[in-house]
Amino acid sequence: MVRARTAILISGRGSNMRALIAAADDASFPAEIALVVSNVEGAEGLSYAAAAGIPTKVIPHKPFASREAFDGAMDAALVETGIEIVCLAGFMRILSDGFVRKWEGKLLNIHPSLLPSFKGVHVHEQALRAGVRISGCTVHFVVPELDAGPIIDQAHVRVEPGDTPQTLAARVLVEEHKLYPAALKLLAEGKVALRNGQAVFR
């Protein structure tokens, strides 16, 4: 089996990255994690990836004159490593339209709400303020509009009385760690594809 060479982009803790690495540790998983890139030097996830024997690269965004220039450097690192699929996992930079279009259909993100509800940041605060009884997480194809891409899969959790953003985040995170590997598997196996702006399943 040829495994899809996959990169993970992180900015921090990297717990979703760890879940993807753990899933891909199984030789029968259709994707291999071939690179972890972070825009933040010292991001917690980097040392874990390195210890797991995965090549890592730090590309700090600050020295670049523009978003496009930073994205160009990331794209070069991905191409150099022969990457076919890119997973955003707590990557806290907005990507330029050019980068997103280039990787369209191969670029995934995980978001800690049931999209299209509660886009952007402070997601669990938004959910609690809205008083929803069910929240969850979404893996979607990335398109230029933030948190708006075609949905590949979702998982739900109940909002419990007394939940704080922290307790809700922790409950959602447990589901994120199962959902992201499952969604990556679907893409790597060709069971989902982005066609004419829609996720098409077979």
Verify binding: residue 90, ligand GRF, rule CB under 6 A. Answer: yes
Looking at beta carbons only, is 67 or 171 nearer to ligand GRF?
Answer: 171
| Percent of residues in the chain assigned helix, strand, coil, to nearest 5 | 35, 25, 40
Q: Is 111 a catalytic residue?
A: yes
| Sheet strand arrangement including 151-158 | 56-58, 31-38, 4-10, 85-88, 107-111, 134-141, 151-158
**Contact predicate 109/139, CB 8 Å:** yes
Looking at beta carbons only, is 12 or 72 nearer to ligand GRF?
Answer: 12
Verify binding: residue 149, ligand GRF, rule CB under 6 A. Answer: no
Give the count of beta carbons closer than 10 Å to the beta carbon of residue 14: 23
Give the shortest CB-202-to-ligand GRF separation in angstroms. Answer: 27
Verify binding: residue 135, ligand GRF, rule CB under 6 A. Answer: no
Give the per-residue contact string, 4-43, with ligand GRF (x = CB under 6 A; - = no).
------x-xxxxxx--------------------------
Catalytic positions, written as ranges: 111
